[in-house]
Amino acid sequence: MSVVGLSLFFASCSGSKRGSDSGSKAETFEEFYDQFYADEKFQRSRLRFPLEGYIVDLAGRTKWTQKNWAPLKNKVATLDRKKYKVFIKKETDRYTEKFELPDSGFAAEYRYQLIGGKWYLVYAMDQNL
């Protein structure tokens, strides 16, 4: 599957300060996560380019840009655990999720960080080998 194929998979499937600012309430990860996957405009507003991570395929590694970013459509937390191997780690100001389709060369990792009271996707790795 090419980078375009990986992007279509997600499309077809349903240096900053950490923590919150004093005096303002930090948004919950759950509120952010739901909106991040439901609203493409919101999703783009919570990415900071250059985004860390890569698209990895047979052609090599490609850095993320605003032009090659394909909006994420499926929450890793809701993937079928019988089909996908899923890892999720939630911390106070960090959330990491990884998944892979065993024996396929297809995997992904996403890291979110609480910055200034708001959650952002700060790392993405999509692999398709």
Q: Which residues of the chain have pLDDT under 50?
A: 2-22
Domains and CATH numbers, the chain: 3-9+26-128 (3.10.450.410)
pLDDT the model gives residue 23? 54
Residues shown for the chain: 129
Give residues with Cβ within 8 angstroms of 14, minimum separation 6. 73, 74
pLDDT the model gives residue 26? 87
pLDDT the model gives residue 18? 45
Rounded CA-CA distance 8/127 in Å is 14
pTM over 0.85: no
pLDDT the model gives residue 25? 86
pLDDT the model gives residue 11? 43
pLDDT the model gives residue 16? 41
Name the β-bridge partners of 85. 100
pLDDT the model gives residue 17? 42
